[in-house]
Amino acid sequence: METRGSPQYIQTSLAASLTLGLQQGSFHRNAKLKGLNLLLHYEEGCLGRCHFCGLSMTRQEGPRGKTFIRVDWPIYPLEEVIGRAREKDQIHRVCISMITHPKALDDTLFVIQRFKQETDLPVSVLISPTLIHEEGSFKAMKKKGADRIGIAIDAATPELFDRLRGKGVGGPHRWDHYWDVVRMAVEVFGRFYVGIHLIVGLGETEKEMVEAIQKGQDLGAYTHLFSFFPENGSPMENHAPPPIGQYRRIQLARWIINETLGPMDQMGFDEKGKLVDFGVDIKPLLQRGEPFMTSGCRGRDGKVACNRPYGNERPSGSIRNYPFTPEPADLEEIKDQLDIR
């Protein structure tokens, strides 16, 4: 049987597949996908064992029909994805996600090159730090044409990281190495051309999450926030998503830190680590929706291009990352959810 592996084949997010017309459907509230998220694919899957991920080796469903971050990632020929992406003006960026597999680095370079030769889209790479040990890997990506790097640290503390991604699950990833790789990426790509992914709700306090965001900021990396969603079949399928109030407070703190409106040491937390004081007047910030929109790599127009519609919630519930500017009714709801007096 033919194996449909990378680099000739690539997985797209379901949202990307719909946007490219490879599947039929539309988004709740007519959200428009702006960033094309792609994922390398190998029959053997990812060699990581992260407890919350649908790609993990420990996933109960076995290696076939794997999913990644909640929804299906269908597989298409790279050729076809590039051809369709070229015709879609609404797409402002492409992101190639590596997975932890020995071929992933070489295949990523190949896919970057194909996109740069055949489209005018800017390219991000969501790297697998465990595969990267020297600046030369980043220099090669830059030379092929990538301009931004994402690093999925995901867990906000060394203890959680180790328990969910490292030794606790017999996985290969190490907290200190991930942050060393953030420094390396900033060295090659420049300050704020690097972003870290952090997932809210893996068991950290709000204070610990804000500390991780500030650490990224100090190193020259923006934070791209995700809200934990229990993946069916993953070992954390019964772990609840974070309360919406917690997510809103972290979104606002992230905005304040990444927009350099104020640092963490001006913020206040209660004895349980809940954010109770943002250190700045938040009223004007609540009149605008940006703090609650998806945070991600920017596109040609300088605005966030990776808007991942409904990437970590169900359309029927509250929107966690708004893929469009929130409307006045949304802003009213957000103010209630924030639960700040």
For ligand SF4, the binding residues (CB under 6 A) are 35, 37, 93, 95, 124, 126, 150, 195, 197, 224, 296-297, 306
**Shortest CB 110 distance to ligand SF4, Å:** 18
Burial (Cβ within 10 Å: 0-12, 13-18, ≥19) of residue 120: exposed
**Shortest CB 182 distance to ligand SF4, Å:** 12
Tell me which residue has its CB nearest to ligand SF4: 150
Annotate 129-161 with b (16+ C-beta within 10 A) or e (fewer). bbbbeeeebbebbbebbbbbbbbbbbbbbeebb
Strand residues in 24-110 grouped as ranges (E): 35-39, 75-77, 93-97
Are residues 263 and 214 in contact, defined by beta-carbon separation less than 8 angstroms?
Answer: yes
Which residues, listed in sequence order, are joined to residue 330 by a DSSP beta bridge?
A: none
Q: Report the first-to-last Cα separation within the chain, whole angstroms.
A: 62
**Shortest CB 97 distance to ligand SF4, Å:** 7
Identify the residue whose tokens are 């794997």.
66
200 membership: H or E segment, kind and range: strand 194-200
Give the residue with the Cβ less far from ligand SF4, 124 or 246: 124
Give the residue with the Cβ less far from ligand SF4, 93 or 320: 93
Give the residue with the Cβ less far from ligand SF4, 95 or 209: 95
Question: Which tokens hold the place of 108?
Answer: 């990523």
**Shortest CB 251 distance to ligand SF4, Å:** 15
Give the residue with the Cβ less far from ligand SF4, 70 or 224: 224
Side chain identity at residue 56, one-letter code:
S
Burial (Cβ within 10 Å: 0-12, 13-18, ≥19) of residue 244: buried
**Shortest CB 202 distance to ligand SF4, Å:** 17
* Ordered DSSP codes for 287-318: TSSGGGBPP--B-TTSSB----TTSSS-TTS-
Give the residue with the Cβ less far from ligand SF4, 147 or 333: 147
**Shortest CB 304 distance to ligand SF4, Å:** 8
Over its C-alpha atoms, the chain yields an Rg (Å, rounded) of: 19
**Shortest CB 130 distance to ligand SF4, Å:** 16
Give the residue with the Cβ less far from ligand SF4, 121 or 202: 121
**Shortest CB 283 distance to ligand SF4, Å:** 29
Q: How far apart are CA 123 and CA 120, in angstroms?
A: 9
**Shortest CB 91 distance to ligand SF4, Å:** 12
Give the residue with the Cβ less far from ligand SF4, 33 or 164: 33
Nearest Cα residue to 125 out of 297, 308, 321:
297
Give the residue with the Cβ less far from ligand SF4, 150 or 241: 150
Give the residue with the Cβ less far from ligand SF4, 267 or 307: 307
CA dihedral (212, 242, 59, 322) positive or negative: negative
